[in-house]
């Protein structure tokens, strides 16, 4: 029996971010899983009336299944703290730092992790960014600092396309980040309660693991365990644990890497609320360890708490 059995559980999903559709799928899957474990679950589509809705439903605990702005960035977590409703996942500070790539990259460097060389530009400078401003030139990767699910991410191989890519990234929240392009194996690590569970390799049909590859079934191949040397797996798992704990994360996170041929685990980001859909990676890793999806969801729910 789970810690919250007999209590009213709100699965918070949807929201207003660019990742709304993914969150709707994550929330629905998690709600079904928790109901299968015997929990009393209300699905709550998050909007500006969230506080009133939670009071009306007399919610005891919140399972946060949001992605992106206003859900993964500490905003909802702060509201739940103020309402004294325990919730799953990371607290306000870790959520905010994990969501902002400019901040998280600085922390990763301070933790001694391998960070790809990059430059961060304010969005108002997007139209002025030239290859000459980049010590590493092109090819490069352009991304917005404050979005997830690879929203706004582009690989730029031609210097003439750099401004266009930067303008696109500037449409979203946060700085425009331009990284040196590093060729390697895309590896994601699931971390639960501070412990790395496993490393999964991603082989997208597209040029990189973009939004379509993440959420369209059949467009990407996954290999668990990752097809890299055991020594490289050990390095990437250790780095994931350092990143999760270093940001102060709670519950489950997914840490994304590019692993170079020599085994260097270049960290890309920590997802403090990773996707939990049929094509999502944390459930795939958990299943590889024999942890069924309903059991995983209940394990996450059991960790719900106030963090402030």
Is pLDDT above 60 for 215?
A: no
Query: Is 72 in contact with 273 (CB distance < 8 Å)?
Result: yes
Q: Which helix or strand (DSSP H or E) is residue 55 part of?
A: helix 50-57
Residue 105: phi, psi to the nearest 5?
-60, -40
Q: Which residues is 11 bridged to in the sheet?
A: 43, 63
Q: How confident is the model at residue 220 (pLDDT cuts 50, 70, 90)?
A: confident
pLDDT at 173: 84
Query: Does position 209 have pLDDT exceeding 80, yes or no?
Result: no
Q: pLDDT at residue 278 above 70?
A: no
**Residue 216: per-residue pLDDT:** 56
The CATH architecture annotation of domain 97-114+183-297 reads 2-Layer Sandwich (3.30)
pLDDT band (50, 70, 90) for residue 279: confident
Residues carrying an active site annotation: 19, 149, 215, 254, 256, 269, 271, 275
Distance CA 294, CA 163 (A): 45
The mean pLDDT value of the chain amounts to: 93
- How far apart CA 261 and CA 187 sit, in angstroms, is 12
pLDDT band at 80 (very low <50, low <70, confident <90, very high): very high
Residues of the chain with CATH 3.30.470.20: 97-114+183-297
Number of H helices, E strands in the chain: 10, 13
Give me the pLDDT at residue 212, please: 52
User: Residue 117 and residue 179: Cα distance in Å, rounded?
Assistant: 6
Residue 207, pLDDT above cutoff 90: no
* Residue 139: per-residue pLDDT: 96
> Would you state the pLDDT for residue 152?
80
pTM (two decimals):
0.93
The CATH classification number of 8-89 equals 3.40.50.20
Regarding the domain delimited by 117-180, which CATH topology (the fold level of the hierarchy) does it fall under? Answer: Dna Ligase; domain 1 (3.30.1490)
| Residue 308: per-residue pLDDT | 86
Intervals of CATH 3.40.50.20 along the chain: 8-89
Q: Residue 117: helix, strand or coil by DSSP? A: coil
User: Would you place residue 98 in the very low, low, confident or very high pLDDT band (cuts 50, 70, 90)?
Assistant: very high
**Digit-coded pLDDT (tens) for 139-157:** 999 999 987 657 789 999 9
pLDDT of residue 1: 84
35-67 pLDDT, tens digit per residue, is 999 999 999 999 999 999 999 999 999 999 999
Q: How far is CA 136 from CA 140, 206, 265, in A?
A: 8, 24, 19
Q: What is the pLDDT of residues 231-265, one digit of tens each?
A: 999 999 999 999 999 999 999 999 999 999 999 99
Query: Which structure tokens are listed for 67?
Result: 């992605």
What is the C-alpha to C-alpha distance for residues 162 and 53, in angstroms, rounded to an integer? 45
Given the structure tokens 């980001």, which residue do they identify?
269
């Amino acid at each position: 029996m789970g810690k919250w059995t007999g209590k009213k559980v709100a699965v918070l999903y949807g929201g207003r971010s660019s990742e709304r559709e993914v969150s709707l799928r994550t929330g629905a899957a998690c709600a079904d899983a928790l109901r299968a474990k015997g929990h009393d679950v209300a699905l709550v589509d998050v909007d500006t009336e969230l506080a009133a809705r939670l009071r009306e439903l007399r919610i005891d605990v919140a399972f946060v299944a949001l992605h992106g702005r206003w859900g993964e960035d500490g905003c909802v977590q702060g509201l739940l703290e103020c309402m004294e409703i325990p919730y799953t996942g990371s607290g306000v500070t870790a959520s905010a730092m994990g969501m902002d790539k400019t901040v998280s990259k600085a922390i990763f460097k301070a933790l001694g992790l391998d960070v790809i060389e990059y430059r961060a530009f304010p969005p108002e400078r997007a139209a002025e960014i030239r290859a000459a401003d980049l010590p590493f030139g092109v090819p490069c990767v352009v991304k917005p600092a404050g979005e997830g699910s690879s929203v706004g991410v582009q690989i730029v191989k031609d210097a003439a396309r750099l401004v266009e890519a930067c303008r696109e990234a500037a449409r979203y929240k946060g700085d425009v980040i331009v990284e040196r392009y590093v060729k390697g194996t895309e590896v994601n690590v699931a971390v639960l309660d501070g412990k790395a569970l496993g490393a999964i390799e991603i082989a997208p049909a597209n040029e990189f693991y973009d939004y379509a590859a993440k959420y369209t079934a059949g467009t990407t191949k996954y290999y668990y365990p990752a097809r890299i040397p055991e020594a490289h797996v050990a390095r990437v798992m250790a780095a994931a644990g350092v990143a999760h704990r270093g940001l102060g994360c709670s519950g489950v996170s997914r840490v994304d890497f590019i692993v170079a041929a020599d085994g260097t685990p270049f960290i890309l980001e920590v997802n403090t609320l990773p996707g939990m859909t049929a094509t999502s990676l944390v459930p795939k890793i958990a299943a590889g360890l024999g942890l069924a999806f309903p059991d995983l969801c209940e394990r996450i729910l059991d960790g719900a708490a106030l963090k402030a």
